Amino acid sequence: MANLKEVRNRIASVKSTQQITSAMKMVAASKLRKAQQAIVQLRPWAAKLQDILQNVSAALENTGDNIYADNREVKRLLLVPFTSNRGLCGAFNSNVIKITNDRIRYYTSTLKDGHVSIMTVGKYATDHYKRNNIKVEESYDHLYNDLSFDNVMTLAQKLMLEYREGKYDMILLIYNRFRNAVIQKLVVEQFLPVKIEGAHATEVKTGHVDYIFEPSREIILTELIPKTLKIQFYKAILDSFASEQGARMTAMHQATDNANELLRELRLSYNKARQAAITKELLEIITAAEALKG
């Protein structure tokens, strides 16, 4: 059995760790409330704009005017994984890295003469690929320092420009979609070209798409579609940020609970060791007293 000093030191160490994890849990909970409010408010608007985007893209499918829905042969693919700048958030980052690596292997083997590039958002992904000597085209770890639409819009504009110029034929976003503090859904979302799904695709195939453009087709192509894409990109990074705070709060809550359980076991061990030491001293005193009597 461990001696009393060793157990006391372990109890003090666990208490210190418990205070840290409890504080980190409260900080994450505070950030989560703000992040959750932001994504919940944006999500209905972004969903409606996404619906409009697909409608417009379906209407322009056969005209070739929508440069953001140009489904050309994919030879140059860009993956954009969203991770955090810090750890201590459970499997949040490792899940993103895992699916990104799976996609790298898949597209490297399936794309004919294809090239897969990586652009990271979050220091965890940047450091991971640098450690593994995998080239990262660019890193945007600073976005989380001031997470605003204006800052995120700059990166979205850059991606849209590179797609238009043909640097990339497809851009995929890999991130955690926020559901609640405990559940985050890992998704791989096609950012460009615009993907027409469901009823919109059916309408295109059957020729039932017939829209009147107001104010004009040119304004829609130059203003509405780019703005909608920027908002979709902003929604993705807000989803990732809210998911990070939820994952960190959950991880710190579990760590605090584990510390409580460990403290309970250590205190029990300490009391047993202390009781054994007292019993041993009493036996020595009694033995010495009996020896003196003899």
Q: Domain containing 192 — which CATH number?
A: 3.40.1380.10
Asked, for residue 189, whether it belongs to a domain, the answer is yes
**Position 197 pLDDT exceeds 70:** no
CB 231 within 8 Å of CB 46 = yes
Residues 6+ away with beta carbon under 8 Å from 110 = none
* The model's pTM: 0.82
Asked, for residue 291, whether it belongs to a domain, the answer is no
User: Is the pLDDT higher at 81 or at 145?
Assistant: 81
How would residue 70 be classed by pLDDT, with cut points 50, 70 and 90? confident
What is each CA distance from 210 to 16, 61, 65, 255, in whole angstroms?
Answer: 66, 11, 15, 57
**Cα distance between residue 251 and residue 260, in whole Å:** 14
Asked, for residue 178, whether it belongs to a domain, the answer is yes
The count of domains in the chain is 1
Asked, for residue 276, whether it belongs to a domain, the answer is no
How would residue 204 be classed by pLDDT, with cut points 50, 70 and 90? very low
Asked, for residue 12, whether it belongs to a domain, the answer is no
Asked, for residue 11, whether it belongs to a domain, the answer is no
How would residue 125 be classed by pLDDT, with cut points 50, 70 and 90? very high
CB 4 within 8 Å of CB 228 = no
> 125 is in which domain, residue-wise?
43-251
Residues 6+ away with beta carbon under 8 Å from 102 = none
Q: Which pLDDT belongs to residue 68?
A: 82
**Cα distance between residue 248 and residue 99, in whole Å:** 20
* Candidate from 128-142, 200-214, 225-239, 262-276 with smallest mean pLDDT: 200-214
Beta bridge partners of 78: 117, 171
Q: Which pLDDT belongs to residue 276?
A: 81
Average pLDDT over all residues of the chain: 85
* Candidate from 26-30, 185-189, 255-259, 267-271 with smallest mean pLDDT: 267-271
